[in-house]
Amino acid sequence: MLAATSLGQPWRPRRGVLGWGSASGVLAALYPAVTVLLAARLLGERIGSVQRTGIGIRTLAVATPALG
């Protein structure tokens, strides 16, 4: 906000970028799950049932507030 004000720019995001900002936030919050999925895909590691449950719960916990 301070940088935008000092440059004479509006500090509130436009409507068009709100969706992209929310999507990137959700993806950033899921980085541990992405790491596990990449390890399974690229390295052939097995995903255990506890990991699957954790990925599912984390996805729901992050997506629920993001969807409103």
Ordered by start, the domain boundaries in the chain are: 23-68
Say if pTM beats, i.e. exceeds, 0.85.
no
| Angstrom distance (rounded) from CA 15 to CA 22 | 12
Task: Give the long-range contacts of residues 60-63, CB within 8 A, separation 24 or more.
Answer: 62/26, 62/29, 62/30, 63/26
pLDDT (average), residues 32-52: 93
Which tens digits make up the pLDDT trace of 7-40? 887 777 777 777 777 777 787 888 888 889 999 9
| Angstrom distance (rounded) from CA 43 to CA 8 | 50
